[in-house]
Structure 1
């Protein structure tokens, strides 16, 4: 029995099984995402990866030409995205800790006693907590609006920190979004919401599915391409 390799040409392999008819490969960040039909055998997946090795090699070469990502220092003046706009971080000391958006700034309040690595880790913790809370609130608003428009009724919504996908839904109607999507422009967030809600009607990527998506987002192809280009930036911003 041939097993699916964990890594191909330095890219971590992530297999995503769903109700779909065909297999597709996508580079998401430094991961190779293999989207396949639910019951496709491991041997067939391994064969597809072998067959597509020249394409993967070309994508790896492209990744190497991209300048390395610089980690945030989490200091005042740094820029952070939210719904397509960038806000400057303003670090201040106080006892009512956390992050909030005010006056065009992302204000991070930390305790005066925290310094060095502890200070940096705390700011990152507060930023991620703010992003997750904001994402849940705004995604719920958008999901309610588009669910009514599409004619579906999701049974629940939550956010997670996926490594290489923007959302998912299951047969029970539970919708999950990657909270990092809240950093993208409104039109991109809308596309992701519409995409997942349309899966409640068509749990695949068939022609009917894409026609339904296009009915509610006429520029969905442009939005898909934007995500492919900027996915790594969104996930590594904090």
Structure 2
């Protein structure tokens, strides 16, 4: 179980949204590279970065901020947001991104995901963001008729490294992770699942350490970490203890 701190980029700043609404963005840091360095010093093993502007634009927008992060830290960085062409995948991996997350294109162009996973084994993840169980795309601005599990099953034999599952209704709301939905998705797929959206407190971390979450590969934390509801050292020690057990 890896706990990923999140850096969401909007206008070159670290922000957190509520339910993916760009109009409800709270700025938590002006220097993404410094924030990434702080997370690394706190002992986190990897970093989750999303180019929010890129997710809406359909192309990378905050490239300078991402490159500054990559130049500042040594731990692995996974990146999503507006990555919809093979050249973009190749470019980010060449710059030092450890894992590329494909979201909208996973629904629109699943053959692209399969080709990328074949070309870069272990370095391609699929982001599945769901609203009322249905996959949302284009920066969560559009909701499809496809169930999250159904989309995940399309990539079972593709070599995808992970599924990052976000319940949009909980994202940024500090209402707790969608444990029922995430655990169910984890059981429905053989691809490792990472939980995202709503992690609110140490109680959520303790829940992640419970036996029925043992098959989950990780979780992403954002607002709770930024506003001090989550103690990084305590959370990491708790999950490390689970791994040791």
TM-score, normalised to structure 1's length? 0.24
TM-score, normalised to structure 2's length? 0.23
More helix per residue: 1
